[in-house]
Amino acid sequence: MCPAAIYGHTSSGKSVFLGLLYSAQVRYTNADQGDSFRFWGDTRSVRYMGGILTALRRGTFPAANLKEDITEIRFKFGYPRKLNSLLPEYIKRANWYRPFSTIGFAAYDVAGEDVEEYVETGVSENRHTIQELLKSTIVIFIVDCSRLTVATHGPQFEKMLNYDENGAVLLSALASHKVRDYAAKSQAKMASSKPVVYPVIVLSKFDQINGEVLNHLGLPLEPPPMDEPEERRKFGEVLIGRFLPQMMALLKGNRLVGVNFDRTAYFFSWVETEKVADMNLSGRPVVARDEQGDPKFSYGEYRGFIEYFRFLADKAPDDVEEATALAPTHPPSSS
Ligand SMILES: Nc1nc2c(ncn2[C@@H]2O[C@H](COP(=O)(O)OP(=O)(O)OP(=O)(O)O)[C@@H](O)[C@H]2O)c(=O)[nH]1
Ligand SMILES: [Mg+2]
């Protein structure tokens, strides 16, 4: 069982997202005097995410994934239990006591084309991994803002159409899988809560969004801040509803078959790049860095992402390995 899956078309920014999330985890942990967050990653995952971060700290974007390079990333977020402050010291010191509620991620950085191939044909060399992806409870869609276009023809428009169609098919496949699984468990009289999926849409490369696109929709040039949850949701919904209408409709429609795709959470990711005049020899954009050599990126959005999972971890009755153990309640309106 894998709680979280990342899905995005080729070159949409999945690897950069994972590298930046890792950077945010490191920064948040070290800056956080109150000890409100911890993370842990297995060796391969730390190497993978750390490798991306190292590339960004050198000012370069990571190399493109090879088609075969399906990467499974395992990490855990931990948040202190609310109960902690009420408990006597001797319990807190006991070695069986776990002061953190945790939520595990087994994220797959799967090449978009592989998922598309599987969803279209039912066949893929990576069938096993993609089937695991379909079992996830948290689905993180990476939507590449540099591809959003108001044009109604041309290659960019075609790519956007394809992504919308494939995303909708994936959402439908996810729901079908959950319906079958739930029916089988109910028949076998196995305890199972009603299926629920938490969709997260990360709008990547937001620095590359065409201002004309935002103007056209009457949206401000920057997403509303974290403390304006309703405005943020509207901002996200207008963009996705306009450019990925099939996905938007399916997110809502899955409820008809009994799978609650709980309210979508939106996050915006961007990396600052240096001006074209500073392009390095390979002609690729250079990542801008702060005085510590860290990439300049939308840290506040990533911190918001980490906070969002605090809510999900709170719902977990105990240390959860399986996200199905999460109670199907509604995320806070700040999502
Ligand atoms: N300007 C800008 N460019 C970005 C950003 N994120 C990613 N990119 C560019 O997009 C390219 C692809 O990003 P990746 O994270 O490698 O995308 P991916 O989805 O992992 O790609 P594959 O694994 O090859 O499918 C990078 O090499 C960068 O050139 C961003 O926030 N801003
Ligand atoms: Mg990648």
Angstrom CA distances, 170 to 92, 124, 257, stand at 44, 15, 15
Question: What ranges do the domains of the chain cover?
Answer: 4-325
Give the residue, by CA position, lying nearest to ligand 1 atom 26: 61
Q: Indicate whether residue 192 lines ligand 1 (CB < 6 A).
A: no
Give the residue, by CA position, lying nearest to ligand 1 atom 30: 205
Q: Indicate whether residue 36 lines ligand 1 (CB < 6 A).
A: no
pLDDT at 95: 67
Q: Indicate whether residue 62 lines ligand 1 (CB < 6 A).
A: yes
Summarize pLDDT for 28-74 with one digit per residue, the tens.
998 876 778 889 999 988 998 999 999 999 999 987 765 445 567 88
pLDDT at 267: 96
Using CB atoms within 10 A of its CB, is residue 309 exposed (0-12), middle (13-18) or buried (19+)?
buried
For residue 69, the ligand 1 atom closest to its alpha carbon is 23
pTM, full prediction: 0.85
Summarize pLDDT for 110-142 with one digit per residue, the tens.
666 677 677 777 777 777 777 777 788 888 899
**Which ligand has the minimum distance to the alpha carbon of residue 55?**
1
State the CB neighbour count (10 A cutoff) for residue 153: 8
